[in-house]
Amino acid sequence: MTGDDDGYGRVTSGFYDGAYARLRDSSGDAAWYRSLAREARGPVLELGAGTGRVLLPIARELEPQGVACVGVDRSPEMLNALRAKGLPANLRLAEGSMQDFDLAPERFALIFSAFRAFQHLDRVEDQLGCLARVRDHLAPGGAFAFDVFHPRLDRIAILEEPESEDARWVQGGDEIVRFASARRDPVNQRVHVRMRYERWRADVRVADEGVAFDMRYFFRFELEHLLARAGFADLSLYGDFQGAPFAAGASDFVVVARVA
């Protein structure tokens, strides 16, 4: 296997849309963030915008009204994949980290961070740094919306999850097969994820490339305390992107927070 990168470099950016068109779009997350953006009636910022899976349709919808949309991401490869799709005039991209971005004097009616990007902030100081930057960039009455996975106890109790196929799709005439494995570190609430992508052409494996990255997981009251500590007083917590209340079997924590 060749081509390891740091999680969101060349390998992941090349396969991201192929993989998540199947694995994530079905959750309804993009439609949910889009309706929040529509209701916000003001500028929109996404932290960890990636290839624009969620932000690009929002910017396209809001372009006729001239609503400014901004995407921040620390990966130039992910942002280049988004640029290659063609940016509407109201969408601007900024390479940077969600824990220390500075877009002053701009303020946003909605700031969001879709598909667990916040879980790439391993250290509490980075999580608080991000929430402080969000507060500073929210317009009065604005909302911060994000999702992280719900660490279901049955799942996180499995410390070593062996590699298994989790997606398969056709891209550029080749068949791509993705394999995932995970190692969990309950002391640090961290999952070490490994993805391996095989490219098959006419029954011959022509490439085999891997990436690895860490994700921090959060428990419910930890998230609530973190947000309270960062000055967010008005919280709504859901268990999915259809607005169901958070419940035991939920796969996600979906949060909307406002500064009181």
Ligand X SMILES: C[S@@+](CC[C@H](N)C(=O)[O-])C[C@H]1O[C@@H](n2cnc3c(N)ncnc32)[C@H](O)[C@@H]1O
Binding stretches for ligand X (CB under 6 A)? 8, 20, 48-50, 53-54, 72-75, 78, 97-99, 114-117, 120-121
| Cβ proximity to ligand X, 60 vs 74, nearer residue | 74
| Cβ proximity to ligand X, 53 vs 184, nearer residue | 53
| Cβ proximity to ligand X, 67 vs 145, nearer residue | 145
Task: Write down the least CB distance from residue 200 to ligand X, Å.
Answer: 25
- Closest C-alpha to 111, from 133, 80, 89: 133
CA gap 19, 52 in Å, rounded: 14
| 90 secondary structure, DSSP code | T
| Cβ proximity to ligand X, 8 vs 15, nearer residue | 8
Contact 151, 117 (CB under 8 A): no
| Cβ proximity to ligand X, 98 vs 176, nearer residue | 98
Contact 131, 230 (CB under 8 A): yes
Residues in the chain: 260
Amino acid at 231: G
| Cβ proximity to ligand X, 75 vs 90, nearer residue | 75
Bridging pattern class, strands 2-5 and 204-216: parallel
CA gap 152, 248 in Å, rounded: 8
| 117 secondary structure, DSSP code | G
Task: Write down the least CB distance from residue 203 to ligand X, Å.
Answer: 31
* Closest residue to ligand X, based on beta-carbon distance: 50
Beta strands in 38-132 (DSSP E): 44-47, 69-73, 91-95, 108-113
Task: Write down the least CB distance from residue 121 to ligand X, Å.
Answer: 6
CA gap 141, 108 in Å, rounded: 10
Task: Write down the least CB distance from residue 129 to ligand X, Å.
Answer: 10
The two structure tokens encoding residue 124: 């509490």
Task: Write down the least CB distance from residue 178 to ligand X, Å.
Answer: 14
Residue with tokens 């999702």: 147
Task: Write down the least CB distance from residue 48 to ligand X, Å.
Answer: 3
DSSP 3-state of 114: coil
Neighbouring-strand partners of residue 66: none
Task: Write down the least CB distance from residue 132 to ligand X, Å.
Answer: 14
| Cβ proximity to ligand X, 9 vs 200, nearer residue | 9
